[in-house]
Amino acid sequence: MELYRLIASTEEGEIPIVAAAESEAEAFRIADREIQHHYLKKPKITDIALIQRKSIGKNGAGYLIRPRESYE
């Protein structure tokens, strides 16, 4: 199992998404599911990008979610 960090791009800006999944394809499916679940009115998604992957070890894994710096 791996922890994936994704970003959905919309006209209003970027939406950070985190998914624990067995594969990249599954991570995208989870991102879809979470977007569907979260919004009453779904934003227009331009694209979804997977930008980082971490193994989930015994001590777990995580991401700190905040706006990216210009160099990131």
Partner 1 sequence: MSYVKVWADHEQLNKNEINKLKKDGLSIFEDIPKYARDGFESIPKDQYMYFKYAGLTVQKPQDKGLFMMRVKIPTGILNAEQAEVLAEIGHDYGRDILDITTRQSIQYHWVPLEKLPEIFDLLKKVDLTTSEAEGDAPRNVVGNPLAGIDRDELFDTRPTVNEIYRFFQDNPDFSNLPRKYKISINANIYNAGHAEINDLAFTPASKVVDGKKVLGFHVKVGGGLAAKPYLAEQLNVFVAKDQVRNVASAVTTLYRDYGYRKSRARARLKYLVADWGIRKFEEKVLELTGPLPSAGKDETVGWNGGFFFGAHPQKQDGLNYVGISVPVGRISSGDFSKIAGLAKQYGSGELRTVNSQNLIIPNIPDRALNDLLAEDIFKKFPVHPTPFTGYAMACTGNEFCNLALTNTKDKMEEIAARLDREVDLDVPVRIYMVGCTNSCGQRHIADIGIQGLKLRTQKGELVDAYEIFVGGTLTGGGHFNERLKGRIAASLISDVLKDFLLYFKKEKEKGETFFTFKNRLGTEKLQTVLDDILKAATSERE
Q: Which of residues 37 and 44 has its CB atom nearest to partner 1 in the complex? A: 44
Least Å from the CB of residue 5 to partner 1: 9
Q: Quick one: how many helices (H) and strands (E) in the chain?
A: 1, 3
- Distance of closest approach, residue 65 Cβ to partner 1, in angstroms: 14
Q: Which residues form the interface with partner 1 (CB under 8 A)?
A: 9, 24-25, 28, 45-53, 55, 58-59, 68, 70-72
